[in-house]
Structure 1
Amino acid sequence: MRLVDLTIKDFSDQVDSSSPAPGGGSVSALSSNLGVSLSRMMANLSFGKKKYEALDEAIKEEFKSRFEKLGNIRDEFLNLIDEDTKSFNEVMKAFKLPKETEEEKKIRKEAIQQATIKSTQVPLKTAKLSLEALRLMEYFIEYGNQNAITDLGVGSLLVYSGLEGAILNVKVNLLGIDDQELVNNMNKECQDILEEGKKINDNILNQVHERLK
């Protein structure tokens, strides 16, 4: 059974166990999924309302386009919840390979490297999608239903948490990779994602707080 098919309680119980997976990577993907869901809820509560219908047609088209794109990203996050745990399990599987002979040691080391690289790619995708989601969500501040502005704020918090959580998982896996050029490039990419994501999240939250005065 996939993790996403579990009840909320069962998923929570699996995280709250002695098993290392599902762990931070899967939970980060779930966090971003829930954050996007909240932002889309705000959008759903905007459609058909007088203030929304009075907007310029170009604005409404952009609003709808972002809403639809966020729906696709939301589905991707659901896949990444399970993909992250699968990639972790592949790393554990590689570590269990035999290492009695020099040939076995060589095969094992290469398998560990490849599995570890894969285990960085999954959370990196979560981080990239989270940043894309934040970029799309930012538009809703001005044109979305202001009665649901706090839902957008909570959504932004959750997506940014998913973003930074995913990056933490990338970084810890990079510690086990020998290819220094790859490590340096991914660290730089992570830093860029983190900085832009924080900027957007701060902007959304500042505007939400401003509207609550």
Structure 2
Amino acid sequence: MTESLWDVSAADLRARTASASPTPGGGSVAAVTAAFGCALVLMALEITARRDPSVGDAITAGRSLLDRLGRAADRDVELFEDYLRARRLPRSTDEERARRQEAVRAASVAATEGPLTAAGDAVEALEWAFAVLPAVAGTVVSDVRAGADLLLGSALATLRGAEANVAQLGDEAAALTARLDAVRRAAVAAHARIDRTPEGSR
């Protein structure tokens, strides 16, 4: 991939996603969604900072998360394209078939590890959103909650793609499935903590 998803217009990204092209797919769209969820929380903090500069460290942490979540969008496209290249390797001889099988296995593992990392970053962003929620100015608390909703949806959607990749694996499948389940539980639990936080709990 030579062009970042962040360099195209929103309309172009929407059109590409709705086309017959396999990329951008669920993982990259989920990563874009996570980045916007994180951005909503940052917006709430930036507004709060006008009268409460003590949230500066939280803003710095959020911008680091935003960068990581944003990079995951392009990384997902790269990983899927690597997988497609492995699938297209020749398989006319036993040696070629063995080489192709190993390449597909390695690409499938990488295409599972990538979404796992991205979903883990979304969980970290949810935990950050929970931590900053009490400090946010009352009028933009809803943006923090909306951002958290997007982060949860992103984490769950990202794991869907990882599950599809695990289905292609053999011995590594059990360990990766356990990690997927753990990240899913962590995402749901982190979001639930935000949901349980009452308004005006500062």
Q: TM-score range, shorter-chain basis?
A: over 0.9
Partner of 1:128: 120
The counterpart of 2:174, out of the listed 175, 178, 184, is 184
1:38 is displaced (CA, Å) by: 0.3
* Alpha-carbon displacement from aligned partner over 1:40-72 (angstroms, at most 9, x marks no partner): 0010011132xx36xxxxxx3xx4333212211
- Are residue 193 (structure 1) and residue 195 (structure 2) matched? no
1:187 is displaced (CA, Å) by: 1.5
Q: Could you tell me whether the CA contact under 8 Å between 2:49 and 2:56 is conserved in 1?
A: no
Amino acid at match of 1:9: A
1:205 is displaced (CA, Å) by: 2.7
- Are residue 143 (structure 1) and residue 145 (structure 2) matched? no
Partner of 2:25: 23
Separation in structure 1 between the aligned mates of residue 14 and residue 87 of structure 2, nearest angstrom:
27
1:3 is displaced (CA, Å) by: 1.4
Q: After the TM superposition, which residues 29-68 of structure 1 pair with which residues of structure 2 at under 5 Å, given as runs?
A: 29-49=31-51, 52=52, 60=54, 63-68=55-60
Q: Could you tell me whether the CA contact under 8 Å between 2:123 and 2:187 is conserved in 1?
A: yes
Q: Could you tell me whether the CA contact under 8 Å between 1:156 and 1:205 is conserved in 2?
A: no
Separation in structure 2 between the aligned mates of residue 183 and residue 70 of structure 1, nearest angstrom:
33
Gapped runs of 5+ residues in structure 1? 54-59
Partner of 1:93: 85
Partner of 2:13: 11
In the superposition, the TM-score normalised over structure 1's length comes to 0.88
* Alpha-carbon displacement from aligned partner over 1:154-186 (angstroms, at most 9, x marks no partner): 1001111111111111111011112x2x32222
Q: Which of structures 1 and 2 has the bigger CA Rg?
A: 1
In the superposition, the TM-score normalised over structure 2's length comes to 0.93
Separation in structure 1 between the aligned mates of residue 132 and residue 61 of structure 2, nearest angstrom:
13
Separation in structure 2 between the aligned mates of residue 27 and residue 187 of structure 1, nearest angstrom:
22
Local SS of the residue matching 2:91: coil
Amino acid at match of 1:171: E
- Are residue 202 (structure 1) and residue 187 (structure 2) matched? no
Amino acid at match of 1:35: G
Quick one: percent identity of the two aligned structures? 22
Separation in structure 2 between the aligned mates of residue 192 and residue 107 of structure 1, nearest angstrom:
33
Q: What stretches of structure 1 move > 4 A for 4+ residues in a row?
A: none
Partner of 1:82: 74
Partner of 2:94: 102
Separation in structure 1 between the aligned mates of residue 150 and residue 68 of structure 2, nearest angstrom:
16
* Alpha-carbon displacement from aligned partner over 1:79-126 (angstroms, at most 9, x marks no partner): 111110111011111111111111110011011111111111111111
Local SS of the residue matching 1:41: helix
| CA 1:65–1:184: 2 relative to 1, 3 Å | farther
1:17 is displaced (CA, Å) by: 0.4
